[in-house]
């Protein structure tokens, strides 16, 4: 049986391929975990924004019921306050979520196992 061996590292190409595949699987699992967390965060964030909006609206309704005889300035102030809350919530909803490989720190330059148990940087060689 003939094994092709990398002269620089002394690792067979078959072993290198095995470790490269393990690295790729690790990256995929990491991305899947990150995506799961992001989906969960988005759901909770949407729920929190909805609650904030409902609270702000209910507070405005309650204020209107209590302050039937308020001055124009007070009505204007309350309207501006409600609009600020609504605008803030809308801006939060429009923020794009960017997931990139760099944000996952998956440049694969971190040490990995070699055939001999020594940490070896990923060389990118097939």
**If you search the block for the tokens 């470790």, which residue do you land on?**
19
Per-residue model confidence as pLDDT tens digits over 77-91: 999 999 998 888 888
**Which residue in 12, 20, 35, 26 sits closest to 106, CA to CA?**
26
User: Would you tell me how many other CB atoms lie within 10 Å of the CB of residue 5?
Assistant: 15
Query: What are the E-state strand segments in 2-113?
Result: 112-113
CA 117, CA 24: separation in Å to the nearest integer?
Answer: 19
Per-residue model confidence as pLDDT tens digits over 15-53: 778 888 888 888 888 888 888 888 888 788 778 888 888
């Amino acid at each position: 049986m003939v094994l092709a061996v990398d002269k620089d590292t002394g690792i067979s190409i078959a072993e290198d391929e095995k470790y490269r595949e393990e690295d790729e699987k690790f990256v995929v699992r990491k991305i899947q975990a990150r995506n799961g967390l992001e989906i969960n965060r988005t759901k909770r964030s949407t729920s929190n924004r909805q609650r904030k909006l409902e609270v702000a609206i209910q507070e405005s309704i309650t204020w209107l019921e209590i302050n039937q005889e308020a001055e124009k300035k007070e009505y204007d102030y309350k309207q501006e306050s409600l609009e600020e809350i609504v605008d803030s919530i809308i801006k939060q909803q429009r923020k794009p979520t960017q997931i990139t490989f760099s944000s996952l720190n998956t440049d694969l330059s971190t040490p990995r196992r070699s055939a001999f148990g020594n940490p070896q940087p990923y060389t990118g060689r097939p």
